[in-house]
Amino acid sequence: MTDNTALLIIDVQIGMFAEDLHLYHGAELIATLQPLIKRARTAGVPVIYVQHEDQNENEPLWPAGPGFAVHPALQPAPGDLIIHKRNPDSFQDTPLQTELERLGVKRLVIAGLQTEFCVDTTCRRAFSLGYAVTLVQDGHSTYDTDLLSAEQIIAHHNQNLAGWFVALKPAAEIAFTE
């Protein structure tokens, strides 16, 4: 998996963890992503962080605000790529595809936030662009809505994306050395 693989961490930014937002299993998400990122780095797999840029200064991911930074428990290391986006699609109007081509990446392992928006959209777009995509089954999260709990949203997207758009794997089964 290492020769042409990259790990994509989407929108795991401080503002997404605000107490009033009630991110589903936020601490567990961080605990899942930390060893995944470490295994990728150990295997020489590029780690790419995507940061969402809100366009309103009152939003949690405003670029000049404290919530914009990558969560401190997952800080990018020297050499990690950082891509800024303004849309749910990590490829739209960003240099992501150019960077992946430069690195020779053909396979993406995707994790992050928010399940039904940026994670879903990026998985589908990556598939449409010809990438082999692995979605980290326990490596993405979201918030409850008026209609569905976060747990239901996550399960629904895992089921809908698996098989057609992504290979679904728990983080513990992703070794980056295959």
* 177 or 103, which is more confident: 103
Q: pLDDT (tens digit, 9 = 90+) per residue, 25-34? A: 999 999 999 9
Q: pLDDT (tens digit, 9 = 90+) per residue, 5-23? A: 999 999 999 999 999 999 9
Domain ranges across the chain: 5-173
Does the 5-173 domain belong in CATH 3.40.50.850?
Answer: yes
What pLDDT was estimated at residue 2? 56
Give the Cα separation of 58 and 60 in Å (integer): 7
What pLDDT was estimated at residue 173? 97
In the chain, how many H helices and how many E strands? 4, 6
What pLDDT was estimated at residue 178? 58
**8 Å CB contact between 12 and 47:** no
Q: pLDDT (tens digit, 9 = 90+) per residue, 70-92? A: 999 999 999 999 999 999 999 99
Give the Cα separation of 39 and 33 in Å (integer): 10
| 148 exposure class (CB count in 10 Å sphere: 0-12, 13-18, 19+) | middle
Give the Cα separation of 91 and 134 in Å (integer): 17
Give the Cα separation of 47 and 106 in Å (integer): 14
From the list 75, 70, 4, 7, the residue with the least C-alpha distance to 39 is: 7
What pLDDT was estimated at residue 177? 78
Q: pLDDT (tens digit, 9 = 90+) per residue, 38-51? A: 999 999 999 999 99
Give the Cα separation of 83 and 8 in Å (integer): 10
The dihedral through the CA atoms of 32, 80, 66, 153 has a sign that is negative
Q: What is the mean pLDDT of residues 46-65?
A: 96
Give the Cα separation of 113 and 15 in Å (integer): 11
| 177 exposure class (CB count in 10 Å sphere: 0-12, 13-18, 19+) | exposed
Query: In whole numbers, what is the pLDDT of the chain averaged over residues?
Result: 96
Residue 110 has pLDDT above 90, yes or no: yes
